[in-house]
Amino acid sequence: MSAGEFVPIGVSLVGLRQAAVSCRGCRLAAQDGVRTVFSAGDPLARLALVGEQPGDVEDRRGIPFVGPAGQLLDRALADAGIPRADVYVTNAVKHFRFRQEAPGTRRIHVTPDLEHLEACKPWLLAELGIVDPAVVVLLGATAVRSLLGPELRVTRDRGRLIPRPTWPDEPARVHLAWWLITTHPSAVLRTPDRDAAYAALVADLRVATAALTG
């Protein structure tokens, strides 16, 4: 399955976001009570952040990175000298994948499978082609897997600028200069040594800032 047939050509970011609401490119879109969570932020941003998928709070509000992980990301961006309003934030997968013991019980996050990443990739390439940022920060292993494949690892390759690859199916107008891998904010929240993990995230974001100003 793929979202490719649902992605319109030659539209603005607003048109892309509107079209994504009707996407049925993977099974996640058919879940009851789940909405499409597309993106947020500056459509002309030089810095884009790509996460994994919306969480429970994001699905309920329809906005990416507004839950606990998003609040931590806001603080990390501020500490790195990056205004949140100046970045573009999105996810590799646009729907919340979860398991639930019974209706009305807590929805528990489930990591997207490769089929979900591949299905949603046309949306991600299309939106990055429109925004055309100079640096893309990949937050966590799922975002890395979606755009760079399984060869790169967060623990091994984080914090350094990587020349972006090209894909045979990418929009012609994509001119991304650099990728940067770092941990997902939710991983920082789960880490026993949260202070050290947070400091490492901020340090990685400062590398991205330096690339924009260098």
- Cβ atoms of residues 69 and 131 within 8 Å: no
Q: Token pair for residue 134? A: 């100079």
pTM: 0.92
Q: Per-residue b/e over 7-25, b at no fewer than 16 CB within 10 Å?
A: beeeeebeebbebbeebeb
Residue 172 confidence (pLDDT): 43
Between 181 and 129, the more confident residue is 181
CA angle in degrees (0–180, nearest 5) for 106-107-111: 145
Alpha carbon distance, N-terminus to C-terminus of the chain: 41
> pLDDT tens for residues 68-110?
999 999 999 999 999 999 999 999 999 999 998 888 888 999 9
Of the pLDDT bands very low, low, confident and very high (cuts 50, 70, 90), residue 176 is low
Between 28 and 15, the more confident residue is 15
Stretch 156-167: mean pLDDT, rounded? 82
